[in-house]
Amino acid sequence: MKKAALVLGAALVAAGCSSYSRTEKAQTQISFGTAVARRGLWREAAFRFEKAVEKEPNNARAHNNLAVALEAEGEFARALAEYKKALELDPNDTYIRRNYARFAEFYTSYTRTTGKATGGS
Amino acid sequence: MARSVRLRGSARTAALLLAALLAALPASAGVAQVRLKLPLKPRLPLRGNERIVLAPFVIATEAEKARDKRLQNVDLQAEFQRFLKKQIEKKTKLEIVPVPPELKLPTQNLSELGRSTEFWRALGVQTGAEILISGSLEFRVEDRSGYKTEEYVSPIDGRTYYRQVYVEQTGFLFDIVFLVFDGHSGEKILQDEFKDFRQTGGRRADELQGLFENLFSLENQILNLFVARDREAERYIFTD
């Protein structure tokens, strides 16, 4: 029993380490970004998610999180680009699709009322 | 016996270790729902401290007032002007310039009003205002009473039946078209429309209360013409 538990523990540690070694830095940025985002510190969250995207340009989740943070900062044009990138990388993800649909609804009305695609650089 | 107790103790330690390890590992497919306040830029390109005039609005339902007793109870022009003035004074730094008392709109047609550049330029010169606000207001009280189907579980046989019940309801429709003019040139710089519909129980719901229900629900959109506002939204972020 003891032996089995130890073997299982060692296997989990090894698995954890191997997955972390691949994405350690992007993962760290996403975790930190998520923590600050939950506290409403969206500027810092955007910075962290941007770092995560730099580390892993093909990570759809990082692009999604960055899009949400940019949206919260009022950078709507950039948020649109990030949502599109996230969807391009993972077109079947329900959460990304839902976010994009809600954003698209808002953004359409926003650009209609302001008359131009503002909020982005 | 002693060996069995020791083993059970080891198993507990291993389980705790395992739990700690699992907690340390990132949760798979972690998603969190977050609430955002989307910053909405003002729709008018203002500095924020302009002098503005709240000119009269065209009342689109004026002709119906003679026939509809409930509309006669509401001075739509006065109530709306008072509401708008109060909101602008409270939530913006714009300076409201009094309207000349004898001021009359050159037309009751909204399209023509939008093209009355000379009239608006003259009003801008007369009042010294940089921004002039006008437009049209429409307020309707509708009797929405009628039969509706509802489920009914019989206390006798416990079965579900459907029955028709008469429900008394009143609907309040409010439609505002804003026309915003440049006080120097008289040119129209923005036209926008906001609509709201509220429904309340009872056939004789109070029309003034209905009007203010409409206005309060449009408050954010109206103020967003002049100042930045935010809009709440929910999104998902991935935690791993």
Three-class DSSP category at B191: strand
Residue at B147 is within a domain:
yes
CB neighbour class for B219 (10 Å; exposed up to 12, middle 13-18, buried from 19): middle
| Position B231, amino acid | R
Check residue A40 and report its DSSP letter.
Answer: T
Number of domains composing chain B: 1
The predicted pLDDT at position B169 comes to 80
Which residues from chain B sit within 8 angstroms of residue A110, using beta carbons?
40
The predicted pLDDT at position B208 comes to 85
A112 against B186, higher pLDDT: B186
Segments forming the whole domain that contains residue A101: 24-114
Cα angle B140-B144-B149, degrees, rounded to a multiple of 5:
160
**What is the mean pLDDT of the segment spanning A85-112?**
90
**What is the mean pLDDT of the segment spanning A81-92?**
96
Residue A115 has pLDDT above 80, yes or no: no
**What is the mean pLDDT of the segment spanning A51-68?**
96
The predicted pLDDT at position B34 comes to 93
Which residues from chain A sit within 8 angstroms of residue B7, using beta carbons?
1-2
Distance CA B188, CA B124 (A): 12
Task: Decide if B236 and A99 are in contact by the 8 Å CB cutoff.
Answer: yes
Which residues from chain B sit within 8 angstroms of residue A13, using beta carbons?
21
pTM across the whole model: 0.63
Domain containing residue B169: CATH number: 3.40.50.10610
| Smallest Cα distance from A37 to chain B, Å | 8
Number of domains composing chain A: 1
Three-class DSSP category at A45: helix
Residue at A46 is within a domain:
yes
For chain B, residues with pLDDT lower than 50 are 1-5, 7, 20-28
| Smallest Cα distance from B180 to chain A, Å | 14
The predicted pLDDT at position B151 comes to 86
> What does the DSSP assignment read for A47-112?
HHHHHHHHH-TT-HHHHHHHHHHHHHTT-HHHHHHHHHHHHHH-TT-HHHHHHHHHHHHHHHHHHH
Interface of A with B in 25-44 (CB under 8 A): 27, 30-31, 34, 37-38, 42
The predicted pLDDT at position B84 comes to 95
The predicted pLDDT at position A120 comes to 40
Q: Please state whether B97 falls in left (phi above 0), alpha (psi between -120 and 50) or beta.
A: beta
Residue A56 has pLDDT above 60, yes or no: yes
Task: Decide if A95 and B31 are in contact by the 8 Å CB cutoff.
Answer: yes
Distance CA B23, CA B35 (A): 26
Cβ contact B186:B124 at 8 Å: yes
Distance CA B102, CA B112 (A): 20
Strand partners, B148: B165
Which residues from chain A sit within 8 angstroms of residue B5, using beta carbons?
none
Residue at A5 is within a domain:
no
pLDDT confidence tier of residue A3, bands split at 50, 70 and 90 = low
B146-153 and B160-167 strand pairing: antiparallel
Residue A68 has pLDDT above 50, yes or no: yes
Contacts of B161 (CB under 8 A, 6+ apart): B151, B152, B153, B154
> What does the DSSP assignment read for B171-188?
EEEEEEEEEEEETTT--E
Distance CA B123, CA B168 (A): 47
The predicted pLDDT at position B68 comes to 78
Residue at A39 is within a domain:
yes
Which residues from chain B sit within 8 angstroms of residue A113, using beta carbons?
43, 192
Cβ contact A27:B240 at 8 Å: yes
Determine the number of helices (DSSP H) and then strands (DSSP E) in chain B: 6, 9
pLDDT tens, position by position, B119-139:
999 999 999 999 999 999 999
A24 against A20, higher pLDDT: A24
Contacts of B38 (CB under 8 A, 6+ apart): A71, A72, A74, A106, B230, B231, B232, B233
The predicted pLDDT at position A9 comes to 52
State percent of chain A over pLDDT 90: 60
Task: Decide if B231 and A106 are in contact by the 8 Å CB cutoff.
Answer: yes
Domain containing residue A43: CATH number: 1.25.40.10
b/e burial code for range B54-91 (CB count within 10 A of at least 16 → b)? bbebbbbbeeeeeeeebbeebebeebbbebbeebbeee
Residue at A103 is within a domain:
yes
The predicted pLDDT at position A15 comes to 45
Residue at A56 is within a domain:
yes
Interface confidence, given as ipTM, is: 0.76
Contacts of B53 (CB under 8 A, 6+ apart): B96, B97, B99, B123, B124, B127, B129, B131, B132, B133, B183
Among B28, B38, B189, B231, the residue to mutate for chain A (most A Cβ within 10 A): B38
Cβ atoms within 10 Å of A11's Cβ, excluding its own: 10
Segments forming the whole domain that contains residue B198: 43-223
Check residue A116 and report its DSSP letter.
Answer: S
The predicted pLDDT at position B185 comes to 96
The predicted pLDDT at position B204 comes to 66
